[in-house]
Amino acid sequence: FDYAATTLAQTNLRNFIGDKTLDETLTARDTINTSLREILDDATNSWGVKVTKVELQKIDPPQDITDSMSKQMKAEREKRARILEAEGFKEAEILKADGDAKARLLRAEAEAKAIEKVAQAAEKNFTDRAEKLKRLEVSQVVLGGENTKFILPTNGELVSVLNLDGKQNIVPLKK
C-alpha cells in the first residue's frame, strides 16, 4: 500500500507540475496541495482509504535551474537598482533645473527692480534739470533784449550761469 500510494502521488504530482511553469509551481503550493489531495482521494477511495491532507514540504528544482534562478534574481535586483538610481538621478536633475529656473527668475526680478529704480531716479533728476534749463533759457530770452538793463551783484555766479558775461546791458551793483 505504501509503495502504491507513493507512486500514485508522485505520478499525479509530475502530471500536475508538468502543466505549470516553475514560477507557478513555486508560488502555488496551496493549489497543488488541494488538487493533489482531491486526485489521490478519488484514486484511493476504491481501496477504502480517505486522503484528508496532502502537503508539499518543499520543492527543490535541479541545481542548474537553481543556479539559473539565482542569476535571474541577481539580474532583476541589479536592474531594479539601476532603475532606482536612474530615477533618483532624473529627480535630482529635475530639482536642479527647477532651482536654476527659480534662481534666474529671482535674479531677473531683482534686476528689473534695480532698472526701475534707476529709471525713476533718472527721470526725477532729468525732470529737475530740464526745468532749471528751461527757466534759464526763458530768462535769457526775456532778459536778453538790448533795451533791458540788469543790476546784479558782481561776485555772484548768476552772470555766468545766465551767460551774460560781456553784455553791455549789465550794470554792476556797488555797495
Residue 70 in domain: no
**Which residues span the domain enclosing 155?**
145-173
C-beta of residue 38 within 8 angstroms of C-beta of residue 50: no
Domain of 29: which CATH number? 3.30.479.30
Identify the segments of the chain with pLDDT beneath 70: 1, 143-175
Residue 86 in domain: no
Q: Which of 9, 35, 59 is where one domain is finished?
A: 59
pTM of the model: 0.40
Quick one: pLDDT at residue 11?
87
Distance CA 26, CA 110 (A): 65
Quick one: pLDDT at residue 112?
95
End-to-end CA distance of the chain: 151
Quick one: pLDDT at residue 94?
97
Quick one: pLDDT at residue 166?
58
Q: Which of 15, 32, 59 is where one domain is finished?
A: 59
Residue 127 in domain: no
Q: Which amino acid is at 17?
A: I
Residue 115 in domain: no
Quick one: pLDDT at residue 145?
63
Give the total number of structural domains in the chain: 2
Distance CA 78, CA 81 (A): 5
